[in-house]
Amino acid sequence: MNNILTLTNISKFYGRIRALNNVSFQVPNGSVYGLLGPNGSGKTTLLGIVMDVLRASGGTYSWFGENPSEKHRQQIGTLLETPNFYHYLSGEKNLQIAAAIKNRSAEDIPRVLEIVKLTERKNSKFSTYSLGMKQRLAIASCLLGNPQVLVFDEPTNGLDPAGIAETRTLIRTLAKEGKTIILASHLLDEVEKVCTHVTILQKGELITAGNVNEVLVGEELAEVSASDLLKLQQVIGSLPGVTQLKRIDQHLHVFFDSSPIDLESLNSYCFEKGIVLTHLQLRKKSLESKFIELTNNTSN
């Protein structure tokens, strides 16, 4: 099976409000797939639809290459909202209740506690857990029954730095074990560090989708400077292949229509035009700038 989840022209309207508009993409088997976008972009709505919590206004989706059914949902572990654990019960007792509700075997509890590294604290009350431990227990609940797919909505939201690091490490561990993981996040850093694929949403519109290394690649640019910056700008502006010039303090950022950038040829060109460069360096546009550019260029 190549794709775990396939969405085709999914739309969702709340009256005149458009939450999703013809969103289509595929989640490859074994991937860590990020739904990235600002708050209000439609990520949670999309997860609600594919988990059969919400009904789409239009479009279709399939799980495991088939029409969605209860059988498929049994193969999916979900964390779509803050888990409702009992604070006065231990981690193990809370998982026993979760297993009963989900119709999972309680015999699976030791395994999932070990995966999330809470075995030594299984008898501690939930109220004594750190934020990261509470989230790991929530993920342990998702792992009951050993589902093939995990769906997380903002899994590090509200956590302190230690909790964020713990949760991301756990997600990477689960991915190495062959789980397909779908997670929604508004954090570029999170998607960059844990995801293999990404779909970027903005106001319900799909901006782009694909491999993280292709979608979020940092664009190369040349950073140059000279004593006469105005003349330098005029000379480089006439150079074939230059698509954009930006002045940043005493430097010019030069963007080209292709890569890699040949710094030696750029230096020679300027020298032939009577300009001696005092600074020449190859840089990459930050991923944050790339993300902002993608979303801003298509915002309504």
Taking residues 169-192, what's their average pLDDT? 91
Q: Give a yes or no: residue 278 inside a domain.
A: yes
Taking residues 23-41, what's their average pLDDT? 93
* Pair 132, 256 in one domain: no
Per the CB < 8 A criterion, the answer to whether 233 and 225 are in contact is no
User: pLDDT value at position 295?
Assistant: 66
Closest to 49 in 3D by CA, of 57, 41, 39: 57
User: pLDDT value at position 299?
Assistant: 44
* Pair 186, 115 in one domain: yes
Whether omega for the bond prior to residue 260 falls within 30 degrees of 0, making it cis, is yes
Band (283; pLDDT cuts 50, 70, 90): confident
User: pLDDT value at position 238?
Assistant: 87
Q: Give a yes or no: residue 263 inside a domain.
A: yes
Q: Is the pLDDT of residue 189 over 90?
A: no
Query: Tell me, what CATH number does 264's domain have?
Result: 3.30.70.100
Q: DSSP letters of 31-43?
A: -EEEEE--TTSSH
Taking residues 152-175, what's their average pLDDT? 90
Find the helix or strand (DSSP H, E) in which 215 lies: helix 212-215
- CA dist 250 and 294 (Å) reads 27
Q: Give a yes or no: residue 293 inside a domain.
A: no
* Pair 209, 227 in one domain: no
Q: How many independent structural domains does the chain possess?
A: 2
Band (146; pLDDT cuts 50, 70, 90): very high
Domain encompassing residue 274: 220-284
* Pair 193, 240 in one domain: no
Q: DSSP letters of 66-96?
A: B---HHHHTTEEEE-S-----TTSBHHHHHH
User: pLDDT value at position 143?
Assistant: 95
pLDDT digits (tens, 9 = 90+) for 213-245: 777 766 678 889 999 999 999 999 888 888 888
Distances (CA, A) of 175 to 33, 73, 79, 80, 212: 10, 19, 16, 19, 15
Band (129; pLDDT cuts 50, 70, 90): very high
Q: Give a yes or no: residue 299 inside a domain.
A: no
Band (70; pLDDT cuts 50, 70, 90): confident
Per the CB < 8 A criterion, the answer to whether 220 and 286 are in contact is no
Q: Give a yes or no: residue 296 inside a domain.
A: no
140 half-sphere exposure, CB direction, 13 A CA radius:
30
Q: Is the pLDDT of residue 147 over 70?
A: yes
- CA dist 217 and 284 (Å) reads 9
User: pLDDT value at position 287?
Assistant: 60
Neighbours of 255 (CB within 10 A): 17
Strand partners, 62: 6
User: pLDDT value at position 22?
Assistant: 95
Q: Give a yes or no: residue 297 inside a domain.
A: no
* Pair 209, 234 in one domain: no
- CA dist 168 and 164 (Å) reads 6
Neighbours of 11 (CB within 10 A): 16
Average pLDDT of the chain is 89
Per the CB < 8 A criterion, the answer to whether 179 and 78 are in contact is no
* SS3 (DSSP) at 13: strand
Q: Is the pLDDT of residue 50 over 90?
A: yes
Picking from 183, 215, 247, the residue at the C-terminal end of a domain is: 215
Taking residues 255-278, what's their average pLDDT? 87
* Pair 65, 151 in one domain: yes
* Pair 202, 224 in one domain: no
* Pair 270, 200 in one domain: no
Query: Tell me, what CATH number does 7's domain have?
Result: 3.40.50.300
Band (300; pLDDT cuts 50, 70, 90): very low
Band (250; pLDDT cuts 50, 70, 90): confident
- Specify the pTM: 0.76
Strand partners, 12: 20
* Pair 171, 261 in one domain: no
User: pLDDT value at position 139?
Assistant: 94
User: pLDDT value at position 242?
Assistant: 87
* Pair 121, 11 in one domain: yes
| Phi, psi at 255, each rounded to 5° | -105, 140
Q: Which of 59-73, 258-272, 279-293 has the lowest mean pLDDT?
A: 279-293
* Pair 115, 233 in one domain: no
* Pair 127, 245 in one domain: no
User: pLDDT value at position 241?
Assistant: 86
pLDDT digits (tens, 9 = 90+) for 198-221: 999 989 999 889 898 777 766 678
Degrees to nearest 5, angle at CA 45 with 43 and 47: 70
Taking residues 51-78, what's their average pLDDT? 90
Percent share of the chain, pLDDT over 70: 93
Please give the sequence-ordered ranges of beta strands (E in DSSP) within 75-226, or none if there are none: 76-79, 149-153, 180-185, 197-202, 205-211, 220-226
Per the CB < 8 A criterion, the answer to whether 245 and 237 are in contact is yes
Q: Give a yes or no: residue 298 inside a domain.
A: no
Q: Give a yes or no: residue 300 inside a domain.
A: no
